Chains A and B, each alone.
Chain A
């Protein structure tokens, strides 16, 4: 019994959108949960443990985990919140199922960012109070400094980052769940408003509202339910350098550490040979390139070149962010990465329609918690 595998048996999401004034967060989550349970062929009573992802100030509610059980059918059940992105939630349920005590677990993430009147004020509160908040700037300045350093170390130009934006928004055109699909040019990105140079408005993923629910189960249960699962082959999460004063600004330490560990757990030695599609965090354009390199897909300074050559396109060697990523789906602090997990699940099941990648058996999903953190995770899924 000891090394039971864990698999995903149901996913449900509401289409992401810029604003969602017709539904409360509860109603949005209820809809996503109904879809996920239906796909998994279960009722909420069958679920042994629930993990919800949120941060209080994003909700405008302290102790937000109070408000999660009802719309998940989780009243009087084991439920807890993880303050991390969606992959942390999957890691949490994965570990719980592997203790032997639980059989079926659920992860929930959502976003109602449109309900925050001045998001910059909330974001600024994530900065260390005494040495980093003196500026009164939107914390995007941290991304501006990181981007400049990354371009300096890799030799990339702003155009290379703009290429990312163009491609991700184009990918989103084929994802019905994406909130921000568009056909735009590199020049559109380069001409957008400067925010914290070299970071410009279009380099930043626009925010969205949405909700995702994912059902996971242990191998023995999956067998008895006679379900096809997408298996968790490897998962890892790491915090890099938590504070700005000791951080390596050109590097995504968390991504390097978590990708290495997750690949090791999955027994994958050569990512380019063994992984057929990748979803990663592109909440800023340069982050996509930085994360491509951090996962070990290519050497430092190569990602931009390969991207331009179409290596990461739908018909390229290893497609990256066919979902549209954060730039195309929209940025939802905890939830976007679960929309990306949903994409990989659909791809591996062969249900991705027009954007179906052929012969995909292994996919990798990578996440980042956003400014000013240095935390992120890597998940490897397989069939």
Chain B
């Protein structure tokens, strides 16, 4: 079903992604918002509503942290709402902003994503323990890496994928990130480096994992008549989709993300896309772990099941390839302040379509891109198609 109103992205801003930021979460949010506003052509007084995305309260260590972050995000005396789908929150944020504006309730919406993971001790990963079932899983002494390792193993097993093929994703994204000013862990590494990095939870190795980060991002959304008036290059939200699978994750075959496919189909239908691999020019799938980029390319229907590693090996997903994937450098290279990392992908598509990314620019004047995030217990897919 087509939405009744068109919504555009007209501004975007990011902070640096950092292991330990001096700034508070409220201050990081402000930096991102200020940058997004100044690039949008709107003033703060023109902003009618604010959306906040931020992942577990257990990172920042503030209960109801959406309320705590409100002032830095521009929520003072404004309609302000926080949505939440775990790791999918960053890409969901723009969907939330989209329906606020597409509903006709608001003409403009400021969408902010923040994460300050460094407050959490002894290690931010500790906060993730509490995502497992409290009665049937946590007593086993769980850690976050388990679920990724279990999923990666299953994916590799079903499609007979090698570690080398997965390592290529780390190599590509970390290199792409060298050109990203926000990047936290950009570096030139080889497949050998990745395969020699220590095993964390086999088959996951250190260089296949994104870091924990502090950071924020923001975008400005506007309804059609405002976007056309104030923006020279509005980027349209052509399709949105989201989908949540069962929490009984041990009852599913993890080799394929059905929830991503469902979310993608919803977004493509809205955007009128029939052949995603041909009609989409850039993709920013969620890549907190190297295999995830491949897994998600398949869920996004950008290739057949099990084919993503082959395309990667052929160089198709390089910036100058036929289908550039994570030209930003992704979470593996730029960093992973959870919700902000998702919004970073939206920012990347926005800037790529406007031709504003300098050395990161993919060739051929791309007209359409897809961004996707994932979260929860390998369970939620959030997908957005942007176009000019």
Chain A positions near chain B (C-beta within 8 angstroms):
1-3, 55-58, 60-63, 65-70, 74-84, 88, 91-92, 94-96, 98-102, 122-123, 125-126, 128-129, 236-243, 253, 257, 369, 372-375
Contacts and interface: CB of A to CB of B under 8 A. Distances in A.
Interface of B: 1-5, 55-58, 61-64, 66-68, 70-71, 75-87, 92, 96, 98-100, 102-105, 127-131, 133-134, 241-248, 258-259, 262-263, 266, 270, 375-377, 379-380
Contact of B130 (A60, A79, A98, A374): A60
Given A83-B84, A253-B77, A242 B99 contact: no
A361 to B, nearest CB: 24
A88 B157 CA distance: 44
A66 B262 contact: no
A239 B67 contact: yes
Contacts of A79: 85, 242-244, 380
B81 A99 contact: no
B100 A95 contact: yes
15 contacts: A1-B4, A2-B4, A55-B64, A62-B56, A62-B58, A62-B129, A75-B244, A76-B245, A80-B84, A80-B244, A83-B64, A238-B79, A243-B71, A253-B77, A375-B80
Chain B CB count within 10 A is highest, among A77, A95, A241, A375, for: A95
Contacts of B247: 66-70
Contacts of A82: 81-84
Contact of B61 (A60, A63, A100, A125): A125
Given A63-B55, A242-B75, 17 more contacts: A61-B130, A63-B87, A65-B244, A65-B380, A68-B244, A69-B244, A82-B82, A98-B4, A99-B3, A99-B98, A99-B99, A100-B3, A126-B63, A129-B62, A238-B78, A239-B78, A242-B71
Contacts of A374: 67
A57 B65 CA distance: 11
**Taking chain A's interface residues, is the majority helix, strand, or loop, or is none over half, making it mixed?**
loop
A76 B81 contact: no
A81 B100 contact: no
Contacts of B244: 65, 68-69, 74-80
A75 B259 CA distance: 9
A1 B104 CA distance: 12
Contacts of B79: 236-239
Contact of A80 (B55, B83, B127): B83
Contacts of B61: 125, 129
Contacts of A95: 99-100, 102-103, 105
Nearest to A66: B376
Nearest to B106: A95
Contacts of B105: 95, 98
Nearest to B75: A239
A253 B80 CA distance: 14
Given A83-B82, A96-B99, A96-B103, A69 B246 contact: yes
A372 B67 CA distance: 9
A150 B133 CA distance: 44
B67 A242 contact: yes
Contacts of A253: 77
Contacts of B82: 82-84
B72 to A, nearest CB: 9
Contacts of A80: 83-85, 92, 96, 242, 244
B259 A76 contact: yes
A125 B70 contact: no
Find the residue from A62, A98, A128 having the highest chain B CB count within 10 A: A62
B187 to A, nearest CB: 30
B260 to A, nearest CB: 11
A238 B70 CA distance: 11
B309 to A, nearest CB: 26
Contact of A125 (B5, B63, B376): B63
A126 B245 CA distance: 30
B326 to A, nearest CB: 24
A63 B67 contact: no
Contact of A83 (B66, B78, B100, B248): B66
Contacts of B64: 55, 83, 126, 369, 373
